[in-house]
């Protein structure tokens, strides 16, 4: 019985609140500050009769006279005095609902959930870290491997964005092209290709065909696909090693005559840290690289800020 009464009371309260609007709340806030219907009406730019009607509505809603006449003038009731903070909080909360969302990277500890290969980390995320240490020191990044399931994870909201190449985009994905990438061939110092590549504008599959090839397998929407760019006429006989990790390449080519075609940005990063050499490879066989997010994040200020940073850091690389 008590539960039924509580449900009925809540239903009646909800019915009563349908007549409540922002002007009524604002009226009550001013009345609680001025203790005067006349001055409240002046602040709101409404007539005295209109103010009196609003006061009558407030009294009916809260079951209290709010303002009473005494020998020394109009005074707020005890109940009304206790409403100042709740009314201010209610108006502030309503304002927050309609306030445009903002993002301050210098103060935020937002965590970006990103799916990427190690190439995406090296080419896009890595170069931003030094700047972020100063401009956004509390930002966090949770990077997961880019796998076929990453697209469904993006759809479900389990990740915020992914870094990817050669995308067949769906309508509900927002695709931002970051740059066009080309290839370079990585090989050890003293490799026969070092002298052979010197006079050439770019190496070709014919140039690398005498050597054992290390291929990178990249994730597609259905599974891993080998990058066969180094193969001559599709022949895979020299592809001695297929694997999905770019950053293992120094270990695979550093001590042998094996060679690997890798994206130029990664080749330059590897050369900063190792003694490996590189030479341009088939410049026309490059690929675009994208930052991909879901349509629901179109107006997300944190995601938009990171997108702008990614565009800025890769623009002149």
Total structural domains within the chain: 3
CB atoms within 10 A of CB 129: 12
Dihedral of the alpha carbons of 58, 60, 63, 68, in degrees to the nearest 10 = 60
Residues 6+ apart with CB under 8 A from 56: none
In a domain, residue 59? The reply is yes
Domain boundary among 98, 126, 149: 98
Residue 272 burial (10 A CB sphere; 0-12, 13-18, 19+): exposed
Residue 143 belongs to a domain with what CATH number? Answer: 3.40.190.10
In a domain, residue 103? The reply is no
What b/e string do you get for 190-212 counting C-beta neighbours within 10 Å, with b at 16 or more?
ebebeeebeeeebbebebbeebb
Residue 168: helix, strand or coil by DSSP? coil
Contact 310, 162 (CB under 8 A): no
Range of the domain at 25: 2-98
Whether residue 224 sits in one domain with residue 80: no
Provide the whole-model pTM. 0.74
274 φ/ψ sector (left φ>0, alpha ψ -120 to 50, else beta) = beta
Domain boundary among 73, 98, 123: 98
End-to-end CA separation in angstroms for the chain: 72
Whether residue 238 sits in one domain with residue 151: no
Average confidence (pLDDT) over 115-142: 93
Domain boundary among 68, 98, 128: 98
Task: Record the tokens describing residue 299, joined without a space.
Answer: 């107006």
In a domain, residue 118? The reply is yes
Task: Work out the mean pLDDT of the chain and round it to a whole number.
Answer: 88
In a domain, residue 105? The reply is no
CB atoms within 10 A of CB 148: 12
Residue 76 belongs to a domain with what CATH number? Answer: 1.10.10.10
Minimum mean pLDDT range among 16-30, 35-49, 144-158, 231-245 = 231-245
Whether residue 219 sits in one domain with residue 171: no
What is the pLDDT, as a whole number, of residue 312? 92
In a domain, residue 209? The reply is yes
- Give residue 169's pLDDT band: very low, low, confident or very high (50, 70, 90): low
For the stretch 225-254, pLDDT in tens is: 888 888 876 555 666 788 888 888 888 898
> Which regions of 182-253 does DSSP assign to beta strands (E)?
183-187, 213-219, 224-226, 239-243
- Give residue 10's pLDDT band: very low, low, confident or very high (50, 70, 90): very low
For the stretch 247-284, pLDDT in tens is: 888 888 988 899 999 999 999 989 988 999 999 998 88
Contact 263, 249 (CB under 8 A): no
Q: Which residue has better confidence, 201 or 235?
A: 201
Whether residue 34 sits in one domain with residue 167: no
Task: Name the nearest CA neighbour of 289 among 309, 315, 268.
Answer: 315
């Amino acid at each position: 019985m008590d539960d039924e009464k509580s449900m009925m009371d809540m239903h009646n309260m909800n019915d009563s609140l349908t007549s409540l609007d922002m002007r009524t709340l604002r009226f009550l806030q001013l009345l609680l500050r001025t203790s005067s219907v006349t001055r409240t009406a002046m602040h709101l730019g409404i007539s005295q009769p209109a103010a009196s009607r609003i006061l009558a509505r407030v009294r009916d809603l809260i079951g209290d006279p709010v303002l009473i006449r005494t020998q020394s003038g109009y005074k707020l009731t005890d109940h009304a005095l206790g409403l100042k903070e709740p009314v201010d909080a209610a108006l502030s909360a309503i304002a927050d609902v309609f306030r445009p969302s903002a993002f301050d990277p210098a103060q935020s500890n937002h965590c970006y959930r990103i799916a990427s290969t190690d190439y995406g980390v090296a080419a896009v995320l890595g170069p931003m870290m030094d700047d972020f240490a100063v401009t956004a020191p509390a930002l966090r990044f949770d990077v997961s491997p880019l796998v076929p399931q990453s697209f469904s994870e993006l759809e479900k909201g389990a990740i915020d964005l992914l870094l990817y190449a050669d995308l067949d985009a769906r309508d509900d994905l927002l695709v931002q092209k970051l740059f066009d990438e080309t290839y370079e061939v990585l090989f050890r110092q003293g490799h026969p290709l070092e002298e052979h590549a010197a006079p050439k504008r770019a190496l070709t599959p014919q140039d690398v065909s005498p050597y054992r090839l290390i291929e990178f397998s990249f994730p597609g929407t259905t599974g891993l696909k080998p990058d066969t760019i180094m193969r001559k006429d599709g022949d895979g006989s020299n592809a001695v090693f297929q694997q999905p990790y770019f950053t293992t390449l120094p270990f695979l080519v550093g001590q042998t005559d094996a060679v690997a075609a890798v994206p130029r940005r990664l080749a330059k990063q590897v050369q900063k840290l190792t003694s490996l050499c590189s030479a341009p490879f088939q410049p026309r066989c490059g690929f675009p690289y994208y930052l991909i997010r879901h349509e629901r994040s179109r107006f997300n200020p944190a995601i938009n800020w990171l997108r702008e940073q990614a565009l800025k850091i890769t623009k002149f690389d």
